[in-house]
Amino acid sequence: MGSASASPIALVVALVTSGSARADPCHSAQPEAGAPARVGLGPAGFGSIPEACPATEASLQGSGSLLVAMDDFYGWVDTGLAPRARLRLSERAWFSAWLPGLEYRYCANATIEASSTGLSAASVGVHHGFLLGRSMGVAPFVRVLVPLESGYLNATRYGFDHGVSAVAELGSSVEAVGGVSFPALLTRNGHTLHTSYSPMLDAEAVLKPFQALSLLVGAGLRLRSGDDSGFDGFDPRAGLRLYPFGGMRIELGAAFPLGGRDRTDVVGGLNLGWILERP
């Protein structure tokens, strides 16, 4: 009697458990899930929302930004290339690192021109994911900026960032990603300390028409407080993500800051990566 009555209960428990596993938003037919567009609006990933799902991967992150102000006879170009990595520590926890890379800057102000090539900043972070219901997950994170950049001749920049990444499965081929981030940057120049606190909100939709292709569209909202407080910008963004074979990833992304203190015309990103392990 006991074993006969226990069998249906065991069956129900097994079905619920397996259903919950299939509904985990970090389990995807594609090589990865929970990844917003990899477009950097700050040093070493600061100012962008990190991934909401664990993985072990290595990648090269290319970035570029452009400002052209014809009326003011002013403009600049900023490009960089840096290694990135994630290391999965457990079922829900992972470590992230943005390693120092090369950075090139060019600035023109009327008839005065200047350029520099140097080492970019680095950052390290810790992330832990949690399931909310059957199709949504969040991942609080903490990141620290490592002041290795050589672009400041007489100054040093430090930073701390914390926030929450999020992912929600809206259907078999649609995913919502984004989150909130609260990066703080401190630049010390002799006895002078400049502070900048830039809360950010990001929301994107990831469309997955094919297993090897994702399309991203969304927007970010950036504020700023501290020594230069104000509305920083509203950033429509889009991306294209390809998975040619195995865990290889090729991603192109762009953001277009509008209506704020940030006068940048366009920010672009190129990510070439290989996903080694995922849920």
When mean pLDDT is compared across 67-71, 106-110, 198-202, 228-232, the lowest value belongs to 228-232
Q: Give the list of residues 6+ apart from residue 71 with CB closer than 8 angstroms, or none.
A: none
Is there a contact between 79 and 63 (Cβ–Cβ < 8 Å)?
yes
The pLDDT, as a whole number, for residue 172 is 87
Q: Which two tokens stand for residue 268?
A: 């672009």
Mean pLDDT on 228-236:
87
Tens of pLDDT, residues 63-106: 999 999 877 788 989 999 999 999 999 999 999 999 999 999 99
pLDDT tens by residue, 110-137? 888 888 899 999 999 999 999 998 899 9
The pLDDT, as a whole number, for residue 11 is 36
Q: What is the mean pLDDT of residues 172-193?
A: 93
Burial 254-272 (b: 16+ CB within 10 A, else e): bbbbeebebebeebbbbbe
Question: Greater confidence, 60 or 148?
Answer: 60
The secondary structure of 215-259 as a DSSP string is EEEEEEEEEEEETT-EEEEEEEEEEEEE--STTEEEEEEEE--BS
- pLDDT at residue 4 greater than cutoff 70: no
Average the pLDDT over 254-276 and give the result: 93
pTM for the predicted model, two decimal places:
0.87
Residue-level pLDDT at 75:
92
Among 19-23, 217-221, 254-258, the range scoring the smallest mean pLDDT is 19-23
CB 115 within 8 A of CB 105: yes
What is the average per-residue pLDDT within 239-267?
A: 94
- Strands 122-128 and 93-98, sheet pairing: antiparallel
Which pLDDT score, from 0 to 100, does residue 227 have? 65
Residue-level pLDDT at 134 = 82
- Domains of the chain and any CATH numbers: 2-277 (2.40.128.130)
> What mean pLDDT is predicted for residues 174-189?
95
Q: What percent of the chain has pLDDT over 70?
A: 91
Three-state SS at 96: strand
Residue 36 backbone dihedrals phi, psi, to 5 degrees: -70, 170
